Amino acid sequence: MKPLPHRLVGATLLAVLLITGAPAGVAQSAPATTENLQAWHMRIAKVPQPSAKGCFTAGYPRLTWRETACAAPPTTPMTPRPPGPTPLTVGNGNHIVAQAPAGLISQAYGTFENVMGVASVSSPLTPMGPSVANAYTLQLNTNFFNTPACAGALNPALCLGWQQFVFANDGTSGLVYIEYWLLMYDVPCPGGWSTFMIGSSIYCRQATPAAIVPGNTPITNMPSFMLSGDVSGANDIVVFQNGMNVYTTSGTSIVDAGPGWTMAEFNVFGYGSGTTATFNAGASTHVRTRINYGGTAAPNCLAVGFTSETNNLNFGLPKPPATPPGPAIIFLENMTGGAVTNCDSAESVGDTHQHTFAGLLYDFQASGDFVEAQVGSSFEVQTRKVSGAPMWPNASVNRSVATRMGNTRVALCDGTKLVVDGQPRSLAPGGSLWLPSGVDIHRVGSNVYYVRDQSGNSIRVTANTNYVNVKVGLGTWPTTVRGLLGNPNNDPNRLEARDGTQFTIPISFNDLYNRFGASWRVNPFASLFLPCSSVASGNPSAPFYAGNLDPTVRQRAEAACRQAGVAQVWLDTCTLDAAVIGPDAARVFVGMEPPVVNGNRPQT
């Protein structure tokens, strides 16, 4: 969904006013645009239902509910995420959620935007069953929270509540309902609750009657979906929208989510019991999770998740810009991916281009060991850069990458040697390591490595011939990042030395290397590269850009970048890499997010 032009904002607000002010529960006719349908959904969700119990439906643009049939909810539960390793694909704890920056969430809304290439999805209806076309769930989930309903648990201090707003489509019809959980209850469940064993622990589940959505709801309708949950009243309410029709049911707040709802999780998942929703190749969508917590500031982004169900998509790069409506978080998921998680990301690529978390692009051609990113005392990423001498003495590339996550140290030396806590480890293509510290390591294909901690911080290392590229992902945003990829106060027009000295962009050659860069050279006693081969340390003697290349070399390199489909904004950067590293280096710039600020001098 594209952001509205300013001249249309007022028109959309007028449409909402027309809808809300219509007599006898009927809105004046307004075009069924995405914006108007979403505004209508939010309004109809607040219209009192005819009775406290029952299932209801409404059609755009009416603002009155009419009773419809209820059905029993599915017996297949939408189970909570168990402890243990997280996958690379979306779900089972590997997710991105919106956290209220203050106060509590009373309502949340989930939608999909920029849906491209989505033609099919399938999921088993039971864990061991066959995959069924158009079987999937939409889930809008709370975080786990303390609840008075745990008073009868074996250990009330360990027991937690959880609540889900669900649309479940089994390929023939759909159901809209609310699912309640008591986690780690560990004694027989109270009357009215079903018992589920997860590991050796007793979990209790209860669900409301379900509103029936007649007929199959194909996944190709994704752009018109909206799922909302509301805990602000005496009853909890779920509303599912499919185009011009909405369906709702409600339930008594038996776990009392209101005082504990601080995070909202939304997405397409498998049909239940930890199953996977499998999309067709080429599927891609942005996911928007909007929350109402009483404020207007953007939500915090956290790389966590609560459901055990998954889909087969990956977190994509780049992270899209925030656009109305809000407050909301937005993230991209697709088949190709690019990040383990993506609350925010930065990268160091080629020879050597730094694209910071705030969106600043600047070239850094020193050699030696440097702190790329440092978040508090628990997450750090270092690179070992090697000079391009003798052919390219004023250029450098990343030779090795290492990270410290808590007390765990992982290094990829020379792009070929994996070392964990000082010990070489063997990891075959497609393999994974699950470390006792909670750090996960995945090797995708022959040359891509992912490392992720339990907080969602991550690195993605792509090993190329004689150099590596690294993307750094953050599990929490906003947060303070220091190092070559950090900016003070997230300002893309500034860089900050280790001692706090700030430099305005454009930064002078002397300040870049002798003050800012020198401050982030790694102290040998803090180096993560002890298992790796050593390199010489030094600085370039002069700036080195595409304009410094021999005209014939530059023309040939630029042609390779254009042929690869590199955007104009990245053409100079790509040209330098294609000349120094080789034409294959152009691929990394295809589809890359434009920099917010280009700190490199213009090339003519």
Q: Summarize pLDDT for 556-598 with one digit per residue, the tens.
A: 999 999 999 999 999 999 999 999 999 999 999 998 888 999 9
Q: Is the pLDDT of residue 20 over 80?
A: no
Specify the DSSP class assigned to residue 77.
Answer: -
Helices and strands, number each (H, E), in the chain: 6, 42
> Predicted confidence band at 29 (pLDDT cuts at 50, 70, 90)?
low
Q: Is the distance from CB of 149 to CB of 172 less than 8 angstroms?
A: no
pTM of the predicted model as reported, rounded to 2 decimal places: 0.89
Contacts 24+ apart (CB under 8 A), 121-125: 121/219, 121/268, 121/277, 121/278, 121/279, 121/280, 121/283, 121/311, 122/277, 122/278, 123/270, 123/271, 123/275, 123/276, 123/277, 123/278, 124/270, 124/271, 124/275, 125/76, 125/170, 125/271, 125/272
Which stretches of 3-67 are DSSP H helices?
Answer: 6-21, 34-44
Q: Which helix (H) or strand (E) holds 229?
A: strand 225-230
Specify the DSSP class assigned to residue 216.
Answer: -
Q: Tokens 């254009």 label which residue?
A: 562
Q: Is the distance from CB of 119 to CB of 145 less than 8 angstroms?
A: no
Q: Mind listing the pLDDT tens digit for each residue in 460-477?
A: 999 999 999 999 999 999
User: What are the start and end residues of each CATH 3.40.1000.10 domain in the chain?
Assistant: 344-476+520-542
Whether omega for the bond prior to residue 327 falls within 30 degrees of 0, making it cis, is: yes
Q: Mind listing the pLDDT tens digit for each residue in 174-194?
A: 999 999 999 999 999 999 999
Q: Is the distance from CB of 38 to CB of 226 less than 8 angstroms?
A: yes
525, two tokens: 């006693």
Using only the alpha carbons of the chain, give its radius of gyration: 26
Q: Minimum mean pLDDT among 52-66, 309-323, 558-572: which range?
A: 309-323
Q: pLDDT at position 8, please?
A: 32
Q: Is the distance from CB of 12 to CB of 35 less than 8 angstroms?
A: yes
Residue 105: count of CB within 10 angstroms of its CB: 26
305, two tokens: 């998740």
Give the homologous superfamily in CATH for domain 344-476+520-542: Mog1/PsbP, alpha/beta/alpha sandwich (3.40.1000.10)
> Predicted confidence band at 225 (pLDDT cuts at 50, 70, 90)?
very high
Q: What is the mean pLDDT of residues 430-447?
A: 93
Q: pLDDT at position 602, please?
A: 82
